[in-house]
Structure 1
């Protein structure tokens, strides 16, 4: 009995060691890929350095003090919030509506499942060129269509400080909504048909089945899409910089664009690093709050 208990006691330990050994390479890789750049950014934020690789001196928290007292930085944070919420709402609404359309059984629904992915596969550079061409005040389709219905003098929204941000949100949402639509469509396919059949027997119409069956069962996937999509949208630089470069008059300068300008236009690497660290902390706080508040409860 003693020998058997010893033998059985060794097996769980050896299994644990095997599990740690299998996970260790990936853990080391993750620490190297994520931990080292993050640590290097924190160290750089404590230095006074212009171009990366140039001489530097330790200044402590001076870069953080300068960033926190900079009105342009807080303006960029505010615009990042508008950008994040706008993309989250517009993309979710369009993706949900598209998923409901392609989830049907008609010929049109089956055909639309293929071309729904079209905006997603277009490179960001091409998307920027297409939308700039569509809205060009001289030869764009949108101004000409507006003139045809009596709205004259409509210029490009990307050149208007009041319309540039909404136009960019619409452009970015058009580019990325297919991803959410496909994910929501796949989640809808996992809902048992028997639930809908039972609801029809009880006299429920399509609208009631959507709010009482479809939407509640899709809440976990909507929560995950919201979290990942928010983090993804917040960090976007390319589509904004390609179209407006943060203008006009900083109207579309979000936090990532502000960091990019600090590092590569003003050549203030240490200031850019300090702003990056502050932004990471703020974004982590927002993500934590979102998880605590918006996460679907297990008992619902």
Structure 2
């Protein structure tokens, strides 16, 4: 005889068990999480409001100004629509400044990345000189831009500059780098990179400290040399930090005005006139506020597209 059927009356023996009701603890936990998120958003509200006032209002004002025919800031003007944008787009100086800004951005990014990476790797070494360098490496960064401009103008002066005389001693005549249209832009890029690379170096040095020592030792045991360890282990860990640093640093570098204004003033012969200098000269030298506002709006659009492409193609794998 077969085994007796011990299933409950009225229920098929093979029917699945009914799902258990959701516990009250789980519901309370979910409600607590929602309240926690709302509280976090509430704490962010003041800073978001400040950012809206600081960023959104000037941008809206720039757009409204660009649609008018305003000469001096605050003077009476009439609405002309998009005629101001057509004037800017037909100005060869605008396209020259935009192309020069692209070159400025790429070279600054390259020079600062090399200097920052090299400095951060050297700071990781042991010894009293490395510990001391961790303090004074930030010195160029904390010096005011006005002082940086004056220092480099003195050191590169064709008559009494220390750097000029040092190169002359080995048979290289630098001339006057800030006054030579062929090398003026490169000179200002080097000055700006010297001023700002310590910030990137400190960030990269902090990121290098997060690389697990056990992983590096495991790579060494597997026979990887220093170069292979860097590309296979260290660099992937640094990618999120480098991505954020590259995005923010690129936007920051593109908008540099003070270094150029204090060293060359956009000259000689417009050789260092980038987009910020073009906007400045249009607004305060040519007294064409509406055209300067239109150039600013177009610059924001260009930077927005560039940032979107940067995120699209250079975002680290696995990031949202």
TM-score by length of 2: 0.87
Greater Cα shift, 189-198 or 9-18: 9-18
**In the alignment, which of 82, 93, 105 is matched to residue 126 of structure 2?**
105
Q: Which has the larger radius of gyration?
A: 2
**In the alignment, which of 36, 48, 63 is matched to residue 42 of structure 1?**
63
- 1:64-100: CA deviation from partner (whole Å, max 9, x where unpaired): 0000111000000000000000100000010000000
Q: How does 1:50-199 map to 2 (within 5 A)?
A: 50-152=71-173, 154-199=174-219
- 1:234-286: CA deviation from partner (whole Å, max 9, x where unpaired): 00100000000000110000000000011111111111000000000001100
- Which segments of 5 or more consecutive residues in structure 1 lack a partner in the other structure? none
Q: Distance in 2 between matches of 1:38 and 1:120?
A: 29
SS at match of 2:202: helix
2:285 alignment partner in structure 1:
265
SS at match of 1:58: coil
SS at match of 2:158: coil
| Cα drift, residue 28 of structure 1 | 2.5
Work out the number of aligned pairs and report it. Answer: 297
Q: Distance in 2 between matches of 1:211 and 1:40?
A: 47
- 1:155-211: CA deviation from partner (whole Å, max 9, x where unpaired): 111111110111111100100110011100000001110011111221222222112
**In the alignment, which of 202, 219, 234 is matched to residue 254 of structure 2?**
234
Distance 1:6 1:90, change over 3 A: closer
**In the alignment, which of 271, 287, 300 is matched to residue 251 of structure 1?**
271
Distance 1:106 1:45, change over 3 A: same
Distance 1:10 1:208, change over 3 A: closer
SS at match of 1:216: helix
Q: Distance in 2 between matches of 1:225 and 1:12?
A: 32
TM-score by length of 1: 0.93
Q: Distance in 2 between matches of 1:198 and 1:6?
A: 45
SS at match of 2:171: coil
Q: Distance in 2 between matches of 1:131 and 1:148?
A: 19
Alpha-carbon RMSD: 2.3
